[in-house]
Structure formats: C-alpha cells, structure tokens
Amino acid sequence: MVLFPNCKINLGLNIIRKREDGYHDLETVFYPIVLKDALEAIRTGEQGIRFSSSGLAVAGNPGNNLCVKAYRLLQQDFPEIGGIEMHLHKQIPMGAGLGGGSADGAFALLLLNRLFSLDLSEEQLIRYALQLGSDCPFFILNKPCFATGRGEIMRPVTLDLSAYRFLLINPGIHVSTAQAFAGIQPQTPAKSITEIIQLPISQWKEMLINDFEKNVTILYPEIAAIKEEFYARGALYASMTGSGSTVYGLFEKGTNPTIQRQPGWTVYQTD
C-alpha cells in the first residue's frame, strides 16, 4: 500500500502566550500544499518493522523516525498488528517549516489503519497523531484549518486558493526551534487570522504576519531577500512558513514569475 504525504504552509502565525508546561499557545491557519513524499508499506509475515528511506537524506536514528514511532504507538494498543516493511521516499525538505516529518508520521497512522483494517475513527487517529507531535493531527484532517493551542486544536475554515499559484523556495537553511523563539514576545493580535483570511488577498501583506519572521530574518537575511524577490515579481502575498526557512509566494494563476535561483536553493511550484 502506498500513500503520498503532502506538506503544509502557515497562513499567518501568532505566538499568543507561553504556557506553564513550557509550550506556547499560538494561532495559525494550516493550508495543505501538493508537494509530497511517498510512503509504502507491505506485510512481511514476521514481527516488527523494517524501515528504509530514499530521496533527501533523513537525519537521525531511523528508529526515531515518526513513521516508525507511529507503528510502535499503534502496536501497543493493537498487538495483532503484524510485521511490515516500510519505505519512505523523501522529497519535502526537513527543518523547513513545511511539516514534512509530521505529515509522514500522520500518514503512517492512516496507512496502518487501512493496511490492518483497524477501523479507527478520525477522532481516534487525531489522538494518536497528537502523541507524535503538535503538527501531526492537521494531516489527519488535511484541509484548511484554523489551529490554536499548540496547533492541535483545529477548526476547518472555508478557504480555497486553488485559483492561485504557489511558488516556494527553500534556501537550504535549517532553523532550530530555539533560534525561532529567541526574542519572541507573545501577545494577542489586534485582529484574528480568521478575520484576515476573509479579506481580499491584496490586503494580507500588511496584516497577515508570521511572528517568527522578524527574528529569523535577522539571523538569515537571505530569507527576507526571497520574500522581497517574490513581491518584486508580482506576488499578491509572501511569507515565511512555520519557523522557517521556506518562503512561499502567492501569484495569480497564469503568471510565470522568473526567479534568479541561488546556490543551495530548491524551488517548488504548484499550478
């Protein structure tokens, strides 16, 4: 069985408060994007999981991959789950604010649910996904959502951007969580993201803000330069996604912006 985990972008990201448990409350809109990995699993008739990957190099111990953790998480409650061989072909860059690892973990849950006919509900899958990471539950729903809390409290929103073209540039910079949060001063925004996204896209530029951008672009000016380049090429809206480093631009469909690629950049586009 093969599934294709897709990534996401953040439309606005406000850090509202620091919680007693050390996490931060935020608000954002998650929007799915069609850049995808490929995840395949087959039964082996043995015990345990054999995991492999190709494409972009996956850092760290394979045993700590979220796909492997998803398998072990479900097997705790469903010991009848048998052995599998799982392969991940990685195309979504990591540490890029696109949620690629979270998507892989969530899609592993979906795949195992189907492969072993566990009949888990969407609500149950979301609870398991939250144990893998704050962004993982979104990929169970996988449609535009307004997210609060750590990102796990979600409400679908009506937002269709299929009439536009997305251009994404990953400059090959890994932004650590500590770097992204350095200097952040949580505060409640004057206008909620849910209100802003209902306005014409031409008004988003001055209102739809990613709170991480200010600090990250000071550390890495090339991220700010990409955003400026998008606007120079006619973007209706441009922003860094998540804690970076990927920047996306939203263009009228039919336009073909010419971007001068730099060494280390990876460029993606949707039509």
Q: Which residues are catalytic?
A: 8, 135
Angle between helices 100-115 and 122-132 (to 10 degrees): 140
Angle between helices 66-77 and 100-115 (to 10 degrees): 40
Residue among 183, 101, 86, 178 at smallest CA distance from 134: 101
Report residue 164: phi and psi, to 5°: -120, 165
Residues 6+ apart with CB under 8 A from 47: 82, 83
Report residue 115: phi and psi, to 5°: -60, -35
Amino acid, res. 267: V
Amino acid, res. 162: S
Distance CA 115, CA 110 (A): 9
Residue among 163, 151, 142 at smallest CA distance from 31: 142
Distance CA 109, CA 107 (A): 5
Task: Evaluate whether 168 touches 114 at the Cβ level (below 8 Å).
Answer: no
The H or E element spanning position 65 is none
From the number of C-beta atoms within 10 Å of its C-beta (0-12, 13-18, 19+), residue 106 rates as buried
